[in-house]
Amino acid sequence: MKIIASTNGRTGIFAAMDVLRRGGSAIDAVEAGIRLVEDNPEDHTVGYSGLPNLLGEVELDASIMDGRTRAAGAVGAIKGFPYAISVARRVMEELPHCFLVGEGAARFGREMGCEERELLTPEARDIWRQLLEAKVPEVYAGRMRYLEKIRQYARVTADPERPNETVNFIAMDAAGNLCCGVSTSGWAWKYPGRLGDSPVIGAGNYADNRYGAAACTGRGEMAIRAGTARAMVLYLGMGMTLDEAGPAVMRDLYQLEDEYFGRVSMIAMDAKGGHRAFSLAPDATYLHFGAAMAAPEELPRVYVAGPA
C-alpha cells in the first residue's frame, strides 16, 4: 500500500493513507485525499478558493481513473461544487459516460446530491482583480472585449509558478489496485470554458493496473497535445523502466512549439509500486507515503532540462 502525490497533496495524504490502512480501496483513498486539498482555502489552485476565470467565476476540472478496470470519470468547467473529484467519481460509477462539462456536470452533481458551495473566496477574488486592474485595466473596466486581449492575458498569467497548479494523487491499495486522481481550478484568468489536462483522460491522468499510472500538473495545453499521462503508461507497458520512460515523455514536451511554454510536471507509479516524478522545472518535489511510514517523505523530482 502506498500513495504518491504532488507536494500540495500534503493536506490530504494522511487521510488517504488512513483509508488504505483501514482496508479501503485505492479509489476511496484518492478521493479522500483530494477532497481535503479541494477544501483547503489556502490553496488557490484547486477546489474551493481556486483562482477564477477571466469573468471571475471559479471553474473546476477533475478526473479519476480506476487502474483495475480502466473506468474513468471526469468533469470540466464545473461551477459551484467544491468536491469536483467526487462528482468525477460519480460520473465514473453512475453513468455510461466518462466526461461531463459545464451545466451538464453541475446538473449531474445536483442530481447526485453532491455538496454545492460558492467557491470564490474574497482572497481569491482580490488576487484575480488586482492582476486584471494592474495588467489589463481597460478590460477590467469593461472598455474592451476580453477576446481582444486574451493573448495578453495569457502572457501575463502564463507564469508557470502560479496559475496552472493542480493536485495529483496515485494510490496502490492492499489488493495492488491503482487509482489516479487529479483536480484543479485550472489556468487562472483562463478564457471561460477552457479545459486543461486535468480532466482529460490520457493527458493529465491515466491508470492501468497492468503497467502503472501517471498524473500531470502544469501547463495543461502541452500535456493535452502530447498525451503525456497515457504516453507514460504506454511506455511502461512497452517494457521501459520509470527512469527510461519518464525522461522520454518529458523530453517530448520540448518538441511542442508553444508561445506560452511552461512547466509541466508528472508523478508516476509502476505496476509494482515503484515511483518517480519528473519536471521541466528544477527543484520540484513530490510526496511518497508507504504504509509502514509514520509520515510522507518529500522527494526530489527528476529535472528534465531539455529535449536531448
Which residues would be at the binding site for ligand GLY (CB under 6 A)? 164, 166, 184, 186-187, 196-198, 204, 217-220
Q: Quick one: DSSP state of residue 47?
A: S
What's the grid cell of residue 16? 488517504
Give the position of cell 511554454: 261
Cβ proximity to ligand GLY, 181 vs 204, nearer residue = 204
What's the grid cell of residue 127? 488576487
Q: Least distance in Å: CB of 287 to ligand GLY?
A: 18
Note whether 160 and 218 are within 8 A (CB).
yes
Q: Quick one: DSSP state of residue 272?
A: T
Cβ proximity to ligand GLY, 17 vs 119, nearer residue = 119
Cβ proximity to ligand GLY, 135 vs 162, nearer residue = 162
Look up 121 and say whether it is catalytic. no
How far is the CA of 13 from the CAs of 9, 16, 29, in angstroms? 6, 5, 9
CA dihedral 44, 47, 49, 55 (to 10 degrees): 90
Cβ proximity to ligand GLY, 12 vs 262, nearer residue = 262
Tell me the C-alpha distance between 259 and 206, whole Å.
27
Q: Estimate the crossing angle of helix 84-94 against helix 102-111, to 10 degrees.
A: 80
Q: Least distance in Å: CB of 184 to ligand GLY?
A: 5
Cβ proximity to ligand GLY, 17 vs 64, nearer residue = 64
Cβ proximity to ligand GLY, 26 vs 203, nearer residue = 203
Q: Least distance in Å: CB of 286 to ligand GLY?
A: 15
What's the grid cell of residue 87? 462528482
Q: Least distance in Å: CB of 137 to ligand GLY?
A: 26
Of these residues, 166, 184, 217, 228, which one is catalytic?
166
Closest CA to 204 of 93, 5, 64, 29: 64
Q: Least distance in Å: CB of 289 to ligand GLY?
A: 22
Q: Least distance in Å: CB of 224 to ligand GLY?
A: 8
SS3 261: coil
Residue spans of alpha helices (H) in the chain: 10-21, 26-38, 84-94, 102-111, 122-135, 137-140, 146-157, 220-226, 228-237, 242-253
Q: Quick one: DSSP state of residue 301?
A: P
Which residues are known catalytic residues? Answer: 166
